Structures are given as C-alpha cells and as structure tokens.
Chains A and B, each alone.
Chain A
Amino acid sequence: QKEVEQNSGPLSVPEGAIASLNCTYSDRGSQSFFWYRQYSGKSPELIMSIYSNGDKEDGRFTAQLNKASQYVSLLIRDSQPSDSATYLCAVRNSGAGSYQLTFGKGTKLSVIP
C-alpha cells in the first residue's frame, strides 16, 4: 500500500513569515510530485509540481524534493492570510497504475494577520 504522510496541523504562522509544509512518501520508485491547495469547501487546485531532486521556485512558492530521503516540502515565503488553506501532497505511483496519484491527508495552514 503506497502511503503519503503529512502533518495534519494546524500550522499557524504570522503574516509575512515563511510557512514550511512537509511530506514523506513510501513509493521509492515515484518520479512525479505535486502540491495542491484546497480552500474550505472547495476542490483541490494544483500549485506546484516537481520531478527532480532539488528546489523549484514559482513566485512565493518553493518545492523541494529529496528522493533518497523520500521527502517533499513546500515553502511559502511572505505568507498572506489568503494562503490559509489545506495543502495536499500528491505522489505519482510507480509501475502499474502510474496514472494514479496517492494523496496525503493534508496540512491545514493558518496565516495570522
């Protein structure tokens, strides 16, 4: 059973701070990794994808991947109250069923004004 683990939170950070969200996964053969943002009552929205070890930056968001440690993280710089949401980590399954993503249960982020 492929697993993706996230700290459920809530993670509270003050406005303007860096929020750090973490994720570990069990499928050692996974090659594609995604972060989704989900506002309360809404559907998940893709915000970042990463495929290679290292960092990938997009605006205030940075995704970090370490395949050897089976670890993915998302950094949000200059956090804003509008960033308050649940963040889902998703990992593409390797091998059979490789179109499937396995999702973590999400980390709830609260940015305090």
Chain B
Amino acid sequence: DVKVTQSSRYLVKRTGEKVFLECVQDMDHENMFWYRQDPGLGLRLIYFSYDVKMKEKGDIPEGYSVSREKKERFSLILESASTNQTSMYLCASTQGTDYGYTFGSGTRLTVV
C-alpha cells in the first residue's frame, strides 16, 4: 500500500514561531499536496507540487511556503505561526489523473 507519512500527529507552537510540517511518501508519486481542514470550511488547498523543486500556490497560500528538494518529501512551512493557523493539516499524494489521493494521517497544529 502507498504510505504517506506525516512526521507529527500533534504539535503545539507559539505565535511567531517558524513551523515545519514534514510529509514523506514511499511510492514514487510525482504529485503532492498540502491541505488544511477546518470545521465548516472543508479541505482547502494550500500548495501543491508536480515535481521536484516545483511548487504551485493553491487557494490559501498566504502565510505558508513549501519545499520539495526530493521527490518523496514535501514540506510545509509556516513562516511566522499565528493563531488563525491552528488547524488540521493534511498531506496527500497521487500517481496520476485516474487515481485519487492518498492522505497522510494528518497533523493537528495548535498555535498559542
């Protein structure tokens, strides 16, 4: 089975901290995505990447950046964490247009 691993299940960070969320997939997928999920708002796309060193903004990129130095790893960076970035963060990958996403287990981030 495809495995998408997110390094932390729960994180608590302070306002203003720089936060790194790591995601690794083990099936050589080219396409990777970062979403946040909030009650009543559903899944919102932050950033995505179709290839190494390539990144595209999603619907809500403000306050975030990403890094994809290796094909299997896609990192989400909160440059200066704020309380409104408290959320569940989900990483996903897919091998192509006829396939759905495989999600990681998620990171629940609380910014205090």
Contact = CB atoms under 8 A, between A and B. Distances in A.
Interface stretch (B60-68, B74-82, B101-109): B101-109
The SS class assigned to the A binding surface is loop
B77 to A, nearest CB: 21
The SS class assigned to the B binding surface is loop
Interface residues of A, number: 22
A87 to B, nearest CB: 12
A72 to B, nearest CB: 13
B42 A90 contact: no
A45 B98 CA distance: 16
A33 B105 CA distance: 22
Interface string B65-104: 0000000000000000000000000100010111111111
Contacts of A104: 42
Interface string B17-41: 0000000000000010100000011
A105 B41 contact: yes
Contact of A46 (B41, B102, B104): B102
Interface of A: 31-32, 34, 36, 42-46, 49, 51, 88, 90, 92, 98-101, 103-106
